[in-house]
């Protein structure tokens, strides 16, 4: 799928945008998109998005009788949603589909721009035009980013676009602004700040300092100007920092009934284990500096990949949208420097897609904006049916498999001479190769002579 180079880059951009827009107005994750709607409305009315948000008549489609707590993002995203709501009110209509269309535009445009930035990165850093168009075509047509941005309604593609653009820009101030905007929208790019700081060059120190200063100062000024209280967002951020044993990795097993009594016997286990990602990022940054000490594009991409994998393996609550960062940087790496990792790349997004499908019950919940009863039906299947037990068991298996895959990916990145064949592929091939060897022996053996 990385050899999609027969069409022009404009074709892939237009096709990718059209596909995403076709899903934009009538699909959405019932929690996230509902939170975006409530954020947009209340912030546009002058209220703080941090705290309890009530349903909005005529616009809400999920949790219609329940207040929801807002997510723990810094204020830029909520202010963007408020601006989109203001643009929506110009139409002087009350239509949930039109508002959702407006709200989905940053996610969709950001994801398309991410694909274009991947295209520019591949061509800028020495790849052929065919390799660049192949990477672009893959991103524009791959179901995973389409689902996350256009159907789910998450804006990680926009954040990843800013992060990849950070690699393309040469001027330190511009680079700092791009990285700072990414951190201001979502904290994820901040996991690489220690590595950038450890590079030791003056420009790296400035980039890191500005990437911290800009989000911090913007947040303080926004809260002061708008008169918002810090307490709700600080409580939310504290909870998000620790996380819960859920998501796409082995950590979800810790909450299972057959393991939970064992870990509960360990003093402060959940408190300590939930914060392991902090020293893990420090270790990953030191290893990245050792393996990739020069600030070249190849080294920067490898370092980000290694740090991201360490983060996933130690952080609780690794959700499907976070994989966007991993596959975007891995796509650049495969298209440019390590085409032999193509199999690992495909295993990465395919395992993630399988988890996404199972975790979201064949996407029934994403029909909520157009069929609100789908949210209730999804909740029934998730909590009160025989399907729930099977679903959670499958998710546990997928969490373990994905964690094993991440370990192999980290080993291959740290030691490029390693065999890049996926461990899962080898397991599948072993019995087949054994049968083939036996077949060859039977065919090659001389016929038995009977008297």
Separation CA 146–CA 351 (nearest Å): 16
Q: What is the pLDDT of residue 379?
A: 87
Q: How many CB atoms lie within 10 A of CB 5?
A: 18
Q: What is the pLDDT of residue 200?
A: 64
Separation CA 207–CA 130 (nearest Å): 33
Quote the tokens at residue 51. 């705290």
β-bridge pairing 52-53 and 68-69: antiparallel
Q: Is residue 262 part of a domain?
A: yes
- The phi-psi region of residue 126 (left if phi > 0; otherwise alpha if psi is between -120 and 50; otherwise beta) is left
Q: What is the pLDDT of residue 434?
A: 52
Q: Is residue 450 part of a domain?
A: no
Q: Is residue 384 part of a domain?
A: yes
Q: Is residue 351 part of a domain?
A: yes
Angstrom CA distances, 357 to 97, 166, 188, 273, stand at 24, 32, 23, 28
- Structural domain that includes position 110: 9-435
Residues 6+ apart with CB under 8 A from 334: 2, 341, 342, 345
Name the burial class of residue 303, with classes exposed (0-12), middle (13-18) and buried (19+) by CB atoms within 10 angstroms of its CB: buried
Question: How does DSSP classify residue 354?
Answer: H
Residues 6+ apart with CB under 8 A from 332: 118, 121, 122, 125, 135, 164, 301
Which residue is it, tokens 């052929």? 128
On whether the CB atoms of residues 398 and 351 are closer than 8 A, the answer is: yes
- The phi-psi region of residue 62 (left if phi > 0; otherwise alpha if psi is between -120 and 50; otherwise beta) is beta
Q: Is residue 184 part of a domain?
A: yes
Q: pLDDT tens string for the chain (451 positions)? A: 455 666 789 999 999 999 999 999 999 999 999 999 999 999 999 999 988 999 999 999 999 999 998 777 899 999 999 999 999 999 999 999 999 999 999 999 999 999 999 999 999 999 999 999 999 999 999 999 999 999 999 999 999 999 999 989 888 788 889 999 999 999 999 999 999 888 866 566 777 888 899 999 999 999 999 999 887 777 767 767 777 888 999 999 988 888 888 888 888 888 888 999 999 999 999 999 999 998 899 999 999 999 999 999 999 999 999 999 999 999 999 999 999 999 999 999 999 999 999 999 889 999 999 999 999 998 888 877 788 888 999 999 999 999 999 999 999 999 999 999 999 988 876 655 554 555 455 444 444 433 2
Total of domains in the chain: 1
Quote the tokens at residue 200. 């030791």
Quote the tokens at residue 222. 């926004």
Residues 6+ apart with CB under 8 A from 309: 284, 326, 406, 409, 410, 413
Please give the full DSSP string across 408-431, using - where no structure is assigned: HHHHHHH-TTS--S-HHHHHHHHH
Q: Which segments of 203-346 are extended strands (E)? A: none
Long-range contacts of 343-349 (CB under 8 A, 24+ apart): 343/420, 343/421, 343/422, 343/425, 344/405, 344/408, 344/409, 344/412, 344/420, 344/422, 345/2, 346/1, 347/405, 347/422, 347/424, 347/425, 348/323, 348/405, 348/409, 349/142, 349/144, 349/323
Nearest partner of 152 among 319, 282, 286, judged by Cα: 319
Tell if the pTM clears 0.85, that is, is over it: yes
Quote the tokens at residue 90. 């110009």
Q: Is residue 363 part of a domain?
A: yes
Q: Is residue 2 part of a domain?
A: no
3-state secondary structure of 52: strand
Q: Is residue 448 part of a domain?
A: no
Angstrom CA distances, 309 to 198, 303, 329, stand at 19, 10, 12
3-state helix, strand, coil in the chain (%, to 5): 70, 0, 25
Quote the tokens at residue 410. 């980290």
Q: What is the pLDDT of residue 447?
A: 43
């Amino acid at each position: 799928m990385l050899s999609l180079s027969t069409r022009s880059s404009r074709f892939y951009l237009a096709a990718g945008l059209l596909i995403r827009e076709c899903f934009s107005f009538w699909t959405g994750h019932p929690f996230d998109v509902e939170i975006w709607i409530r954020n947009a409305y209340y912030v546009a009315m002058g209220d703080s998005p941090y705290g309890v948000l009530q349903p909005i008549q005529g616009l809400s489609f999920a949790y219609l009788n329940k207040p929801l707590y807002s997510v723990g993002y810094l204020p830029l995203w909520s202010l963007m949603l408020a601006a989109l709501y203001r643009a929506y009110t110009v139409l002087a209509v009350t239509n949930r589909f039109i508002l959702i269309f407006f709200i989905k535009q940053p996610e969709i445009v950001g994801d398309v721009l991410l694909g274009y930035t991947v295209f520019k990165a591949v061509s800028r850093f020495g790849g052929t035009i065919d390799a660049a168009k192949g990477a672009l075509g893959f991103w524009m047509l791959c179901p995973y980013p389409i689902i996350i941005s256009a159907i789910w309604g998450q804006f990680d593609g926009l954040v990843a676009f800013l992060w990849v653009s950070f690699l393309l820009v040469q001027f330190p101030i511009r680079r700092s602004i791009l990285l700072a905007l990414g951190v201001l929208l979502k904290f994820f790019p901040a996991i690489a700040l220690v590595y950038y700081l450890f590079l030791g060059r003056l420009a790296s120190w400035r980039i890191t300092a500005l990437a911290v200063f800009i989000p911090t100062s913007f947040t303080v000024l926004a809260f002061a100007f708008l008169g918002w209280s810090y307490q709700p967002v600080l409580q939310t951020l504290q909870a998000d920092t620790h996380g819960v044993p859920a998501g796409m990795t082995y950590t979800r097993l810790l909450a299972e009934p057959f393991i939970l009594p064992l870990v509960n016997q360990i003093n402060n286990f959940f408190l300590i284990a939930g914060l392991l990602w902090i020293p893990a990022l420090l270790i990953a940054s030191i290893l990245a500096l050792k393996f990739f000490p020069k600030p070249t594009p190849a080294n920067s991409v490898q370092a980000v990949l290694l740090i991201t994998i360490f983060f996933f393996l130690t952080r609780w609550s690794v959700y499907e949208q976070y994989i966007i960062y991993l596959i975007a940087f891995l796509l650049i790496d495969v298209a440019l420097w390590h085409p032999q990792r193509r199999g690992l790349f495909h295993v990465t997004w395919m395992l993630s897609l399988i988890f996404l499908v199972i975790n979201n019950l064949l996407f029934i919940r994403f029909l909520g904006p157009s069929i609100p009863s789908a949210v209730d039906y999804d909740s029934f299947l998730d909590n009160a049916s025989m399907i729930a037990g099977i679903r959670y068991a499958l998710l546990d298996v997928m969490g373990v498999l994905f964690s094993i895959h991440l370990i192999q990916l980290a080993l291959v990145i740290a030691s490029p001479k390693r065999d890049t064949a996926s461990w899962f592929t080898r397991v599948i091939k072993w019995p087949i190769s054994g049968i083939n060897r036996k077949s060859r022996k039977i065919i090659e053996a001389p016929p038995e002579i009977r008297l």
